[in-house]
Amino acid sequence: MAMTTNGSSSKLIRSFVHRVKSSPATTLTTPRFRSAQRTTINTTATTIFPTPPPTPPTSTVVPDHSRDAIFDFEDTKGLFSSVTTGKLLRSAANLNLAAVEPVVDMGVWVMKSRLMQVGLFREIVLGVIKHTSYEHFVAGADTEETGRTVKKLWESGLRGMLDYGLEHAIDNESCDINTQEFIKTVESTQSLPPSSVSFVVVKITAICPISLLKRVSDLLRWEYKNSSSTNLPWKLKTLPIFSESSPFYHTLEKPSPLTPEEEHDLELAHQRLVKICNKSIESKVPVVIDAEDTSIQPGIDYFTYSAAVMYNNGEKPLIFGTIQAYLKDAGERLYATKKAADQMGLPVGFKLVRGAYMSSEAQLANSLNVESPIHNSIIDTHNCYNDCASFMLDEVSNGPGGLILATHNLESGLLYLYWFLKTDGKLAAQKARNLGIGKDSEKLEFASLYGMAEAMTFGLRNAGFGVSKYLPFGPVDQIMPYLLRRAEENKGLLSSSNLDRQLMMKELKRRMKGYVGQGFEDSERSFKSDAGSIVKLN
């Protein structure tokens, strides 16, 4: 929702907190996840917290409960204490520019147009991007620059998740090059402060050709539906990838077996992941594998979970997979994977996100006249996210595993912290500490994109949680696809960036008043000193 009046965001937050505090606790799960719990859980069902009521109009007057909340948005000095005034000015300017939809539309059009093939024009555009959105959303051009960003974050009480900006690979040669870049990224953590890097992010699409991932996904889908008549001789030991509600319309006919050449390429892809994992063990930094669209996600999960079977042991997992909560089958798949891992004695880790392919998924499903794999409403997605988070939080509090709660949307953060984690009248920090999942436990990490949700990030940090920033890095031209996604996501005044902008401007005004006041005080002291000197001379 766009907030158009000064102070309106604070009113909305105070009203939200007030309503949550007065809401009775209920049990709420999405229908499919409830079904999975009924059929597979013999213990007490996970407690889920109530859906938040609608946000009141900005003119509604409510009591000020902000001081009771984990986020004290009134205290901008405390929130932005680790941010220099110069950085605050640049961030506010970039976010304000990203909030102007015509400017964003024009920028996206230019970056996608043929004009970018004209040498001089391309250089000018990339120069403008480098000093605006690139500097705001990207951690650096290489590991050296990114390392400096990590150190600054570490000094401010945050950690970094290193994500080398590699896109889809089409052949083995590019996959080999990308693998070396991932290994260099892991190696770079050794020159940084211990624990300043929480994870290294790996994209399977960068180390396995897309065409092969689609073939593997098709065969895995067909095997799940026709297990008695399907033989996959290349398949390694893995964890559950599908549920009954997963989308299978991508594979309507029986796919042909992998050719000897494809099997060879698949083995090469596995060896690339093995090399990255071995370097991660050596460097003592875990790996989180990103998710993609449903056409290739089964193949990605296969790589992820087969590596987890190979490398995860003890209490803390080395390999983390990603669950996209906007998918209708997310809860069932998460539950099935976790329980299968428990039976095998494996710790598993998940990064929980809402999802990033809503438009393309809906368009494909509509073109095939099938049900969309995406939840029908944002409330269903919120419910699924919180169901998954609640289940995993309870699981890791009593046993092995890890959970990354990734969001850059402040409304989502509020839903989670004020609604989901609120039990017995206690705030999120109290619940997490009671479960033994504090900052030092390394079982729970909050994460948000670099350059976004700064107020939520610093609020979580101040509350004592472990918080990481997702740090994409790479040359300007290579990171362009990522910047395009950031630009398009920021359109429409996302609640996170809107509140960030308001709080940043409030803090800048406070600092300017302080500078002016300090100037007056310095002048007054100087005047008194001069006057005193004159009196003495007389």
Per the listing, tokens 């907190």 go with 17
Q: Which of 270, 244, 242 is nearest to 337 (CA)?
A: 242
pLDDT of residue 451: 86
pLDDT of residue 355: 86
pLDDT of residue 71: 60
Residues of the chain with pLDDT under 50: 1-68, 409-429, 492-496, 534-535, 537-538
Taking residue 283's Cβ as centre, other Cβ atoms within 10 Å add up to 17
pTM of the model: 0.78
Token pair belonging to 133: 């959105």
Q: Which of 463, 468, 459, 454 is nearest to 499 (CA)?
A: 454
Tens of pLDDT, residue by residue over 390-432, are 888 889 888 899 999 886 544 444 444 444 433 322 233 455 5
Tens of pLDDT, residue by residue over 96-115, are 777 777 777 787 788 778 88
Q: Rg (Cα) of the chain, in Å, rounded?
A: 25
pLDDT of residue 411: 45
- For residue 319, the surrounding DSSP H or E stretch is strand 319-324
CA distance 465 to 460: 6
pLDDT of residue 502: 81
Q: Which of 379, 415, 388 is nearest to 325 (CA)?
A: 388
